[in-house]
Each structure stands twice: as structure tokens, then as C-alpha cells.
Amino acid sequence: MQEIPCKDYVIQVGHGLLASVPAQLLELLPKVTSFIVISDSNVAPLYAQTLLQRFQRRVELYVVPAGEASKNRRMKDAIEDFMLEKRMHRDCCVVALGGGVVGDLAGFVASTYMRGVPFVQIPTSLLACVDSSIGGKTGIDVAAGKNLIGAFHQPKRVFADLDVLSTLPKRELINGMAEIIKAGAIYSESLFSKLESNVDAILALKKDVVLDMVATSVSIKATIVEQDEKEHVRRPSTPHKLLHSLRLQGLRAILNFGHSVGHGIEAIMQPELLHGECVAIGMVKEAEIARGTSLQCPCKYTHGAPLGLGLCSSATVGRLVRCIKAFGLPVRVPARALTATVLEKMEVDKKNSGGIKKLILLTSIGTVHSNPFTVAVEDARIAHVLEPQVLVVPPSDPISGTVQVPGSKSISNRVLLMAALGSGYPPLYDLSSHAISRRPVCSTCRISGLLHSDDTQVMMDVLQYLGAHVSWENDGDVLVVVGTAGKFPPSLPGHWYLSNAGTATRFLTTVATLAGTPVHITGNSRMQERPISDLVDALVANGSQYVSSVLLSAPYANAPLDLRLAEDHPTSFPYIQMTTQLMSVFGIQVQTLGPPHGSLNAIEIDMETMTDAFMTLAVLAAVATGVTKITGIANQRVKESRRPRSPDVSQYENACPWHHLTIVHDVEIPAKIACHNDHRIAMSFAVLGSYWPNIVIADKECTDKTFPSFWDECHAALKIPFEVPSASLATTGAVDKSTVYLIGMRGVGKTSLGMSVKEYVAANGWAAFRAQEVVCLQSWVQTPPINTIVSCGGGVVESPEAVALLSQSSNVIYLQRTLTDIEATLAQDESRPAYGEDIATVFHRRVPLFTASSSFVFPVLPGDVNYTRINRDFVRLLMVVLGRYNLAPLKTQPDTYFVSLTFPNYTTVPPDLVATVADKAHALELRVDLLESFDKDFIANQVAALRAASTLPIIYTVRTIGQGGAFPDDPTRVFDLLHFGMSIVESRWKALFNSFVDHSKVGGMAMMPLFVELFELCAWQGNVDMAKVVIQAYDVSDAYMIHQVVESCRSRWGFPMPCIALCTTEAGKLSRVLNRTLTPVTHPALPVAAAPVALVVGAGGTAMAACYAMQQLGLQVLVYNRTLEKAKEVAARFGATAVASLADIAAVDVVVGTIPATSGFTLPDRLVRQGVIVMDAAYKPAITPLLAHAHAHAAVCIQGYEMLVEQGLEQSKLWTGETVQKSILADQVKATLAATDFLH
């Protein structure tokens, strides 16, 4: 145990302290007559009794709900009222037993109760141990922000019992590590180094390591608080102390490193992200702001937003990022945390003054900028690091400058591997200058100029698995490696995750053969597509890195290695030479035999020897006069992305075979470049953007792979301006109202513009007409006409330039009609110029181009010529596209209702039936997943038919199989349907999918997120139109409870938000009475109930588990068993329906069999159809009669072993917090089955 002094109290850090707390407090506070222990609903059941039973004086316990939501005025009032009710006076003591929320809340209560009473902290989370429990800051959250109301009230003692950390979920433990990393980063390089080298021991809660780490972190904060208790220092009493005082002015503010940006993100992302996770992202972003190449602030440069402040190096940022990622903390801003919103949330910060944001900025690991400690930073700088995309602005002056490039990734990875495999160490190798300093063989190898990037970090991580010891010197400028001599530890990890680091993957594949134990090497989805079979099969040629991989491990071969390259001209031969030259530096002799490699072709550019540089040349060739042909780039299709086939490359370059690329400079097209996580695409198109205007790089952070400071260097050294794209700073939901473009085949209902098209084509030809179309589009894109509809010619999409221009607009509507209707219309119209080819051929060629160019689709029913009604429906779509649809009546009217329609095909439903069902309703819900077909054209016709049948707003709902519906679990297909432009869209997707909605062209569609648990998530910081929450009710009181929670949330939110709050099951029906906004109703004329039907066969324990699962998914549950009474018992427990006979069932969507296969049970043929899901929990036999019969009728069958695998995966995640790779578990289960035991 360690005792750390802080102000007038002591912080105890150790193991097993909790039981001794009451005795210590009785001795410390002899005048206290009563104690109140304040805890939360998570901690109190674990530790409260340990305290309560040992107090010898009066003690009370008050438990608050766990979570940040409890840190509010209402909860503080409730605690104070409880204390008054219990007759607690000034001789009481408040004991906070819990995490940061409990500590802040209880401390604030103690600071104001009876004008201040003693207060003791017993932190139970790592975050609270090292941060919130120290320093006396207390407070609560309000609508305007976190911790804005509170007081400084120092505790009498802090007891940090590290044993309680063992009950923390792993995510909470990692959450606390953010504050410890912060402490090392701002104040102690030695602590930071310990964190870097003890990641596994810390996460395993090794007692001595954790005690040392926590005590050091606590000591740092205590030291800072001691010198500056309230973020300022009083003026010294003697003149000689003045200088010291000035240096400490605002010292405590350095504890806010990472918190300014972090709190801005947290205000948006909570409760999805925890406090420490947001602070981790904030630290990275604030360090990136500080990074630069010059100690002079570049803010005097007026062209574009200044970037780095030049206070710290890339090495410093690299160490910080690596440490944060090593503990599993995030480093990137979530997509849902929009830049403009984060900047807005950051405005409410105690450090700010005069509307200027002030940040704590690193100068190196262990030190921050001082005098002053807070630095004013403009919004433009902050926005640049927050925003994932960047607009490259061509400078007005010629580009000239010297760029200090980082170390080579190729050399860095080769040197790292050789240093780790070595036994005695050669020279000090400087990667930045390639200089070799000869010195005697020693026990360490020092590498300077190493590239600080994602790829080299992946290599270092695995080398440490192999037993190499890695540490840093000179603030991350020098890497110290102690090698393994080829001898690896016996406890070598069997799973190596190498992300998208291709070089590391290929080099380490050969190294894995030396491990002596099976090793599973994997990476991200793109890495799993990249070829490595040649290396795995024979470890021979097919590219320089394959060859280098064999060479680097060759010294450990049993005999001298003779490596023969089959190619006459090996791909990337200079990289092979690089490997052999570096090996010679490490004392390994490589002799090259055979003929010299070939020379470049004089009539074209052969980049076979430097394939990775082809992207830079490609973009330069795009602005050159004439035709450029690049050959020898076949291996580029298997890099981080398929570079020659990248959709963004194709905006400028013609399609070509894999081995070469032909580039023709034609027209300058604005473009948004999706980098596909490929660093070379981002950097290459940044070069192009310095010449061509309006080039937006969508994922600028992918340059972290090889050149983390790329954007800073380009700006500081080359004076290339960068800006945050204006759309990124626009408010959520803003819609471009300038121009609407109509596209589609001729004859679909568009009108002609200007002079007769037939006359123009006759005089000038089709090519001139298409060129003139592009000129017009370019003009309109640059200066959009206000409130204008542009009707484009049917062939506008024949020009790639026009397609690229149209794709930049969010208001392109595709008028979709059938080929038959178009042919009928054109047969009666002789005023149009001839195609010159068959209409059907043109139609089928253009349809995919129309789809690619459009952001919305307006379908017209086959044979429909009622243009009065078609025009009416088109205007409805326009109101949505332009963001002018008036949702106010639905949001403000006291009581509104919607009907959930369940027709399988609306084109066959009589209009009067829709009118009858919709009577007195305010909106109609179109359940797409209940349609008889999920073909996009079929769905388009359903939308058109429903629009034609009713003018009510349409709530567009798609429930996937995983959400209890029937639509495939494919988010791409789900979101593709948004382009029909419904009035209201119900979103029931995770935040990952919601980010798609944020950035997609959804126009003015009203968003209504549906979450089945959380109101805060659903309200989405007020950035949606309505919030819908559905929970399962177990009792009538649950229906009233959800109504109360809604009212409480709405009173707390700082924005108006209509809420739909509903409960499922019979017990929850009251919620439909209490709900006031868009209450769902049904009608007897509807064909089926909205919820799919699940049939559970059996009445045992497995049947009950199946009933519970189906109920959780919101399905209507039927129970069938040979003994009806048992079926009724099971059904009663889950609000299901028992059926006496299968003949009583009209149809089912899901069937779960839980009875022995020996019963021979099968379903009636009429209940089995294509699409019905049939699963059987029996393991033996693997194919039961139920499954065999269902499989024969084309049902979707799930075997018992598959259910076992899924059960095992979820159990592992639930009990251990770890995720097991599904294929590993599935392979083990499948190994017990015969080949004939599988249905698929």
C-alpha cells in the first residue's frame, strides 16, 4: 500500500483496503456521529455491505441508478431530502462508494449540505481512482454541458482499493487507462514508457504493475493539484516567488489535455462511447493540432486553414497513438460526431474565453506547452483534424519548398525484422538519411528515422510476440530493439492480426514457419482478399515482398538457401536489392547470380521496378497533354485497394487490362475521392488537387499508414491550402435547394429545353450535342440556378463526364418507366431525332447509368397515363427532395395515428380498400419486408401504387431478419431503398448504419430512429425528427413507466422532440393509450397481423428458451405440443398462443423444433414454403425428419449444430467479454459430423 499526500489529506492506494475503511474513518473523524454511503446500483450489491457492517456509528445507504444520467439536479435534491429526512446534521460525513458519477454527485452534495460536511472518496473504477476522486472537483451535468455546476470540495481521504478492479468489465478498465495515458503524456515520460512496455500485464491486472501504475498516476495529479488547486495560483506574498508563480499559472488546466475535443465528442456519442474513449480520441486530435514541422505558428499564412502548430513531432504523436491503440482505445472520430456539432459542443468549456477555444498542446511525451498552459486555437485548425475529408485548394503561387519525408516503410519493416531476429547487433542505422554508423557488436540495436505509422506498429507488435524487446529513446526518435537470435518464447500467441499491413503480412508469414507452433495470420477484410497463396505454397517468387520474406528468414534455414526467381524480369526488383543490401549491413551475405534485369521500353512507361509509385505518375499524366500508357503494374490490383480499378481513379482514367493503364487528359471534373483505406490514393490525388480545383479527399486519415504528417508537411513546406469541405460544416439535415435535375429515358415524361433537339442534332450531330450537355452541366454545377428544374436529355448519361457531374448533386431524380410504356410513347412521337439503334438496347445500357447518376427515383406504374395524379405524386416527392415537406402537423397535433399496412402486393389492392383502411389515420406505414418480393423494381411499383392510392404521408419501414422482419440482413440493400424518397423513414439500425444515413442523399426525408432500449440514442442529440422507443412489458406498470421516462427525457433535453413510446405484449397495451404521437393502429380489413408468426414445437426447457427468443424479436408466438395442457403452460409464460392442431394455423414464418427426432415430426406441406425459416435444436441426428422435409420444400433450414455454434459464440462473449472467431468454433463442431450430415 502507498500513501500519497494531496493538500490536507492522504490518498491510499493498495490492495484489500475496503474492510479497513470504517475503522480508519472513526479514527480520522472522531467528531462525526453519522455516515451516509452513496453508491450506485452496480457497485452497492458488491461492496456496500462490507462497509456498512463495520461502521460502529449510525450509517445510511443511498443507492442511485448507475450511469451518467444520475448526475443531475433532481438526483442531488433527492439525496439531500433523504439526508434531511434521516436527521443528518453538520456532524455527518458523506462517503462516495462508486465511480466518477457517484464521486462527483456525492461530493457536490457534501459541499452544499449544511454549508459543507466532510466527504470521503472510495473510487471503484480505474477512471475514478486516478482522476475524478482526486483534486476536489465536484459537480453535476446540465442540458448545456457536463460538470457546469459544481464546487471545489476536497475529500478528507481517498481509499483506492485496487482489488475492486477485478469486478470491472474489461471495457471499463480500458476506459480508465485513458486518464493514465494522459498523465504520462503531459507530465511523466517514465510513466508513459512503463505503459508502453506493460500492456499485457496491466490488462491482466498484475498486482505490482497495477499498483505502481496507479500510484504514479495519482501522484502526478496530486502534485498538480497541490500547486494549483483551482486552476489558478494566488499572487505570491514575496517578490522572489513571482517567477515560480507565473510558471504555475493555470497548471491544473493541463489535466484537461484531450478533454476539450473529448467532451465535444462525448456530448454527441454518449452513452455509446465512454468518457475515457472520448478523451482518447481527443488526445490524438489535440496532439495532431500541435504537430508540425516548424516552431513558428503557420497562422500568418492566409491561404487556407492553418494546420499544425509546430509544437511537437510526428514521433511524439506516433508514440501517443500507438499507446492508446495498444490498450484498445479508439483514435478516430466516429462518423456520427459531425464536425460542426463537435465544435458547437466545445464552445461550452471553462477554459474558453472571448469565444476562442483553448486547448492543452503537447510538446513532447511528458511535457506540454506552457506560459500559458492553454493555447487559443482557431476553429479551422480543430475542424481540419476532426474532419475525415479534406478539400485540396490549388495555390495561386507556384509550389516550391522542401519536404522532410518520414523514413521508408519498406526499409523500416525490413530493418525491424532483421533487428528482432538478430543476436548481435550491427550498426546504428539512420532510416531518414540511410547513414550507417559502424560500431562494435553490442546487446542492443538502435534505429533512428524509423517511420511512425500503422504498418510499422503492426510489425513491432508481432515482433514483441516473438520475444523481441522494444523501447524508445529521445522522445520516440530512436527505437531500441533487443533481438531474439531466432529463439521464440514457448507461449507464442497463436493468432496474429495484421490489419491491412501487406508488407508485414508477407514478411511474417515466413517467420511464422520458424515458430515451431501453429500460427493463424489474419487481417482486415481487404487483407483477406489479397493473394498470398504462392508464398504459402512454395515461399517463392510472385513479387518482391514474397522474395524478401524468404530472404529475411533464410539465415535460419537448415542449409544454405538457393532461391531461384522464375521471372526473367522480377517484379519490383529494386526492392529485392534493398533487402539484400540491408541484410549485408546485418552481416548476412547474399550472392546474386544470373542475368541482369531488363530496361524500360522507350515508347511507354514501364513501372515494373517501382510499381508502388504508379499512382503518383498516373495523376500527373492526367494533366499532361496527349496519351500516357503505364505498364508493369499488375501487382497493384492486390494492394490496399484495387488501385487501377478504383472507382475514383476511373473518374479520370480509361478502363484497361490489369497489366497497363491508359490515361487521356480530357475534361476537369470535380470529384470526391473515396480512398478505400489506401494511403497512396489519398496522397496521389492530393497532388492532383493542387492543380485541379474541387478535389475532395474523403478519408484523409488513411495516410497514417505511411506518412502521418502528410497534410501538415504539404501545408507548411509547400504552402498548399487545405479546407474542410463546406458540406461538412453544414448543419445536419440541410438540403441543397438550388437545382433539381430530371433524368431518364426519352418518353418518360420529361420536357425539352431550348431549341428543338431534333434540329440541333441534325445540324451538329450527337457528339456535339453530348458535349454541349456537359458544358451546360458544368456551368450549372459551378453556379446553380435558384429554384430551377433542369430536364436532361435521355442520353445525358452516355457521357462519363456528365455522370460524374450529376453524381455531385443531391437532387437528381430518375423518372423510371417500363420499356413497354416508353416504346408505346415513342411510337406516337415523330418529333425526336432517331436513335440509330434499337430502343431496347439503349434502354438496357442506360438503366444502370441512370441509377448511378441519381439520388432519388420516381417510379411510374406500368400503363399509368393519369398524368394529373402522376404530377400530384411527383410534387410530393419534390417536397421531400427539397426539404420542404411539412412534418409539423404530425409532430404537434395532440393525437395522431398511423396504420401499419401488411398487403403483399399493392398493385392488386383496390384503391377504395386502402381508403377504408386509412380512414381517420394520419400516416400509412409501408412494411417493405412484408411484400411478396424484395426485387427493387417490384418495390418501386409498390411505392408508386401506394402513392396513387393515398395522399397520406408514408412511413417507410424495412425490418430485416435480424430485427424480427423478413428482409435480408444486407444493409446495402436496405439503404438502397431510401432513394424512393418517402415522407418519413423509420431507422432501426446501429450507429454504424446510421452514419450512412448522415452522409447519403436522403434529401428532406424525416428520420424516425427506432431503438428497442435507449431514449438518448433515439433522440440523437435532436438531429432527427421523431424518436421511437419500443420495449417489452412484463407488467402493466411498465407501460406507465415508459411514459414517465419519456416525459422526464423531454424535460431534460434542450431541444423539442416528439416521442413515440410503446410496449409490446398484452401487458403493454396501456402504452398505446398513453402515447400521443403516431400511435400504431390496425384495421380488420388488413390481410395479416404485422408481426411475423413463429411456431415453437415442444414444451420443455428448450421450447421455453425458443419462446423467449422469438418474443424478444417481436414475433407472434404459437406453441404446439402433443399434450395441449403443457403447451398452454409454456404459452402463458410468454404471452404466446397454444394451438391444439396444426390445422388451426394459416401460415408461419419461423419454426423451431425442440422435440426428439425419433418422434418423426414434420410440418404439413401447406406450412412449408420458400423463405420459411425452419430450425431444429436436435444435435443427433444432424438431419431430422423436420429438417429433411423442410429442405425438400426449399425452406431456409438451420441445423442443430449451427445453433450450438451461435450459442457458444454468445456465451463466450457474455462470460469472458472476448469474441471467438466463428470459423474456429464451427470447424471444431463440424469435425464431429460426417459429410452426409450437412444440408448446405
Residue 147, pLDDT > 50, answer yes
Residue 669, pLDDT > 60, answer no
pLDDT, tens digit, 9 for 90 and up, residues 275-315: 999 999 999 999 999 986 443 333 333 334 445 567 888 88
More confident residue, 725 or 586: 725
Are 900 and 1036 in the same domain? yes
Read off the amino acid at residue 334.
P
What is the pLDDT at residue 17?
A: 94
Are 647 and 751 in the same domain? no
Output the pTM of the full model: 0.60
Instruction: List the single range of 74-78, 91-95, 494-498, 1006-1010 with lowest mean pLDDT.
Output: 1006-1010
Which residues on neighbouring strands pair with residue 63, listed in sequence order?
A: 39
Q: List phi, psi (to 5°) of 1044.
A: -65, -40
| Cα(71)–Cα(78) distance, integer angstroms | 12
Q: How far is CA 96 from the centre of its chain?
A: 35
Residue 767, pLDDT > 60, answer yes
Instruction: List the single range of 55-59, 805-809, 1055-1059 with lowest mean pLDDT.
Output: 1055-1059
Are 49 and 10 in the same domain? yes
Are 676 and 648 in the same domain? yes
Read off the amino acid at residue 1083.
H
596 found inside a domain: no
Residue 713, pLDDT > 80, answer yes
The residue range of the domain holding 827 is 739-865
Confidence of residue 446 (pLDDT cuts 50, 70, 90): confident
pLDDT, tens digit, 9 for 90 and up, residues 198-237: 998 999 999 999 999 999 999 999 998 888 776 654 444 4
713 found inside a domain: no
Q: List active site positions.
A: 115, 137, 179, 221, 231, 252, 256, 259, 263, 275
Which residues on neighbouring strands pair with residue 522, listed in sequence order?
A: 497
Q: List phi, psi (to 5°) of 1097.
A: -105, 115
Residue 649, pLDDT > 80, answer no
More confident residue, 134 or 227: 134
Is 493 buried (19+), middle (13-18) or exposed (0-12) by CB count in 10 A?
A: middle
Closest CA to 880 of 857, 901, 861: 857
DSSP designation for 610:
G
- Work out the average pLDDT over 966-989: 69
195 found inside a domain: no
346 found inside a domain: yes
Closest CA to 745 of 881, 848, 651: 848
What is the pLDDT at residue 659?
A: 42
More confident residue, 330 or 434: 330
DSSP designation for 837:
S
SS3 292: coil
| Cα(279)–Cα(266) distance, integer angstroms | 8
Q: What is the CATH classification number for the domain harbouring 306? A: 1.20.1090.10
pLDDT, tens digit, 9 for 90 and up, residues 626-637: 677 777 666 555
96 found inside a domain: yes
Q: What is the CATH classification number for the domain harbouring 847? A: 3.40.50.300
Block residue for cell numbers 457492517: 53
Residue 1136, pLDDT > 70, answer yes
- Work out the average pLDDT over 866-879: 86
- Work out the average pLDDT over 2-20: 92
Residue 566, pLDDT > 60, answer no
DSSP string, 323-349: HHHHTT---S--TTS-HHHHHHHHTS-
Estimate the crossing angle of helix 275-290 against helix 259-269, to 10 degrees. 140
**At which of 1081, 1111, 1141 does a domain end?**
1081
What is the pLDDT at residue 237?
A: 44
Tell me how many domains the chain contains: 7
Secondary structure in 3-state letters for 115-175: HCCCEEEEECCHHHHHHHCCCCEEEEEECCEEEEEEEECCCCEEEEEHHHHHHCCHHHHHH
DSSP string, 1088-1155: S-SS-EEEEE--SHHHHHHHHHHHHTTPEEEEE-SSHHHHHHHHHHTT-EEES-GGG----SEEEE-S
- Work out the average pLDDT over 899-903: 88
DSSP string, 711-722: HHHHHHHH---E
Confidence of residue 753 (pLDDT cuts 50, 70, 90): very low
What is the pLDDT at residue 766?
A: 63
Residue 653, pLDDT > 90, answer no
Q: Give helix then strand counts, H and E, for the chain.
A: 44, 45
Report the range out of 493-507, 1022-1036, 1072-1086 with the highest average pLDDT. Answer: 1072-1086
DSSP string, 977-1012: GGGG--SEEEE---HHHHHHHHHS--TTPEEEEEES
- Indicate the average pLDDT of the chain: 78
What is the pLDDT at residue 782?
A: 65
Residue 1151, pLDDT > 90, answer yes
Are 536 and 630 in the same domain? no
Which residues on neighbouring strands pair with residue 160, listed in sequence order?
A: 13
Q: What percent of the chain has pLDDT over 70?
A: 75
Confidence of residue 558 (pLDDT cuts 50, 70, 90): low
Residue 376, pLDDT > 70, answer yes
CB distance 106 to 137 below 8 Å: no
Closest CA to 455 of 645, 647, 680: 680
What is the pLDDT at residue 867?
A: 84
Are 75 and 160 in the same domain? yes
730 found inside a domain: no
Residue 1177, pLDDT > 50, answer yes
Block residue for cell numbers 476553429: 379
CB distance 61 to 44 below 8 Å: yes
| Cα(1039)–Cα(1049) distance, integer angstroms | 16
Closest CA to 636 of 681, 674, 569, 685: 681
1147 found inside a domain: yes
- Work out the average pLDDT over 1204-1213: 90
Q: How far is CA 948 from the centre of its chain?
A: 39
What is the pLDDT at residue 1164?
A: 92
Cα dihedral value 273, 274, 279, 281, nearest 10: -30
CB distance 360 to 257 below 8 Å: yes
Residue 656, pLDDT > 50, answer no
CB distance 642 to 649 below 8 Å: no
Residue 87, pLDDT > 80, answer yes
- Work out the average pLDDT over 1109-1126: 90
Confidence of residue 781 (pLDDT cuts 50, 70, 90): low
Block residue for cell numbers 520475444: 467
| H or E segment to which residue 742 belongs | strand 739-743
| Region class of 153: left (phi > 0), else alpha (psi between -120 and 50), else beta | beta
SS3 573: helix
What is the pLDDT at residue 1139?
A: 93
What is the pLDDT at residue 439?
A: 43
* 450's grid cell: 524509423
Preceding peptide of 372 cis, ω within 30° = yes
DSSP designation for 965:
S
What is the pLDDT at residue 833?
A: 62
Are 916 and 814 in the same domain? no
Sheet containing strand 605-606, edge to edge, reads: 605-606, 627-631, 660-664
What is the pLDDT at residue 308?
A: 54
Is 104 buried (19+), middle (13-18) or exposed (0-12) by CB count in 10 A?
A: buried
pLDDT, tens digit, 9 for 90 and up, residues 521-545: 877 666 666 555 554 554 444 344 4
Q: What is the CATH classification number for the domain harbouring 928? A: 3.20.20.70
Write the CA distances from 147 to 65, 120, 139, 580, 1023, integer angstroms.
18, 20, 5, 60, 23
pLDDT, tens digit, 9 for 90 and up, residues 916-975: 998 889 889 888 888 888 888 899 999 999 999 998 988 888 877 766 677 787 777 777
Instruction: List the single range of 634-648, 832-846, 912-926 with lowest mean pLDDT.
Output: 634-648
| H or E segment to which residue 520 belongs | strand 520-522
Residue 409, pLDDT > 50, answer yes
Are 1038 and 975 in the same domain? yes
| Cα(1145)–Cα(363) distance, integer angstroms | 72
What is the pLDDT at residue 542?
A: 37
Range list of H helices, 135-271: 170-187, 189-197, 199-203, 207-227, 242-248, 259-269
Block residue for cell numbers 418422434: 1159
| Cα(10)–Cα(155) distance, integer angstroms | 9
Read off the amino acid at residue 350.
K
Write the CA distances from 106 to 61, 137, 147, integer angstroms.
12, 11, 13
| Cα(114)–Cα(949) distance, integer angstroms | 68
Q: List phi, psi (to 5°) of 521.
A: -105, 130
| Cα(1161)–Cα(1184) distance, integer angstroms | 9
Confidence of residue 179 (pLDDT cuts 50, 70, 90): very high
Which residues on neighbouring strands pair with residue 374, listed in sequence order?
A: 360
Residue 735, pLDDT > 60, answer no
Are 803 and 687 in the same domain? no
Stated length of the chain: 1240
**At which of 808, 832, 865 does a domain end?**
865
Are 520 and 616 in the same domain? no
Are 1064 and 1097 in the same domain? no
601 found inside a domain: no
Are 336 and 436 in the same domain? no
**At which of 1081, 1112, 1146 does a domain end?**
1081
Is 1171 buried (19+), middle (13-18) or exposed (0-12) by CB count in 10 A?
A: exposed
**Cβ contacts of 163 within 8 Å, gap of 6 or more:** 15, 16, 17, 18
CB distance 250 to 48 below 8 Å: no
Instruction: List the single range of 757-771, 859-873, 913-927, 956-970 with lowest mean pLDDT.
Output: 757-771
Block residue for cell numbers 493468432: 495
